[in-house]
Structure 1
């Protein structure tokens, strides 16, 4: 089994420079970096916010890190202590030392992080791949999470041609002249292409070899074991799955869950509807 890593020292240095620049440009207010030891490597966590209430733990989408939440951080930090994670295996400030082969490994890694931070009764928020990791953690290590918000989570459908076409279209849109990007962002339902600093970081991560498992589709039996307060925010224009079908399935299998299909939004919900996402997280976690 391989681990995620940069191709060479030069690629790692380029990314670190871009990461430090993006961190300085995007992070709102003070932060405390924490390096949490785990069986799979050292995990960088950025802590911010005010103590009180249920702590919020943020897991980004595939290829992302703590910085993808920069729009939501001011609102979240005003109400809660926030822990934004650079996941093992993704381009960020964490360093992977052992492979993650499946959902059980991903769940064990997250359990190690929460234990190192001495966190219980957290509000776990996961976007896309991070949503799948959050679900896996609940299946394998119930106990530390008191509530869960999942933004267009993976694990409800395979990664089909439509999703990969969306990724390619987003990359092309991000490379277009600045004046054209808003129109292209609407056309491809991906506001991430308007995030200049994050796009620079994405380009700097081209030298990163990601070696994480592809999420299998969750069974109804697995979903029924998500026995805690949970809300699902789905982009109506998501390229990952048919959101109406996913919403109907969640409503059937998890009738106590809160499900919202966000009109006009795509798969990149934190960028497509930044204020709505922050408000829903704060309201649900209180």
Structure 2
């Protein structure tokens, strides 16, 4: 595989690097890994748009927040998605404050091509939120296993999509740290 463009790894003077991303950030990291030979390891934390779609109920519940964001709508959505779990008060406040900013549309697109995913030789760690309302965790795990048979998959029970990094930070740090620090496995066929 040749790099489609030099990208940030070369600009930083790195020959290879590990990437990790959560949600849409995981979608970005996966697309970068597919376009670059410089990604040594890839950790995807409850990725969206990579292996399966969103649950329709999640999208319907999020729609008011996206169409006319207000702090109250953001708070209501996060409370619903997290099933009422208590966040560090600073995090929802930050999300609520962002509701008033002009929205730049993120660059999104289709799921990665299944054939391209099967050809990916970068070791992948997939950490899924077992209580995610964003998507069906079992469906995401099964879809990922079909296209990334050598991926290491871990499901953290009782965590939601938006609360994953709050309520499972210790487990995520351990899993990602061990994955990035482990010797590189032989690449698949």
Q: Residues 31 and 112 of structure 2 are in contact (CA less than 8 Å); yes or no, is this contact kept in structure 1? A: no
The normalised TM-score by structure 2 is 0.74
Q: Residues 81 and 133 of structure 2 are in contact (CA less than 8 Å); yes or no, is this contact kept in structure 1? A: no
Partner of 1:126: 21
Q: Residues 191 and 272 of structure 1 are in contact (CA less than 8 Å); yes or no, is this contact kept in structure 2? A: no
CA distance in 2, matches of 1:113, 1:190: 37
Distance 1:214 1:174, change over 3 A: closer
Partner of 2:30: 135
Partner of 2:143: 249
Instruction: Return the offset for 1:237.
Output: 1.8
Q: Residues 129 and 137 of structure 2 are in contact (CA less than 8 Å); yes or no, is this contact kept in structure 1? A: yes
Whether 1:224 and 2:124 are equivalent positions in the alignment is no
Partner of 1:211: 105
CA distance in 2, matches of 1:191, 1:145: 37
- The CA deviation string for residues 142-167 of structure 1, in whole angstroms up to 9 with x for no partner, is 2x211111001122233453223554
Q: Residues 42 and 122 of structure 2 are in contact (CA less than 8 Å); yes or no, is this contact kept in structure 1? A: yes
Q: Residues 41 and 122 of structure 2 are in contact (CA less than 8 Å); yes or no, is this contact kept in structure 1? A: yes
Q: Report the structure, 1 or 2, having the larger strand content.
A: 1
Instruction: Return the offset for 1:203.
Output: 2.7
SS of residue in 1 equivalent to 2:42: strand
Distance 1:255 1:173, change over 3 A: same
SS of residue in 2 equivalent to 1:237: coil
The normalised TM-score by structure 1 is 0.51
Q: How does 1:47-196 map to 2 (within 5 A)?
A: 112-142=7-37, 144-155=38-49, 156-165=51-60, 167=62, 175=75, 185=79, 188-189=81-82, 194-196=87-89
Structure 2: any 5+ residue segments left out of the alignment? 66-70, 182-189
Partner of 1:8: none
Partner of 2:93: 200
Instruction: Return the offset for 1:173.
Output: 8.5
CA distance in 2, matches of 1:252, 1:246: 10
CA distance in 2, matches of 1:158, 1:213: 17
Instruction: Return the offset for 1:112.
Output: 3.0
CA distance in 2, matches of 1:188, 1:239: 6
CA RMSD, Structure 1 to Structure 2 (Å): 2.9
CA distance in 2, matches of 1:148, 1:251: 15
Distance 1:209 1:236, change over 3 A: same
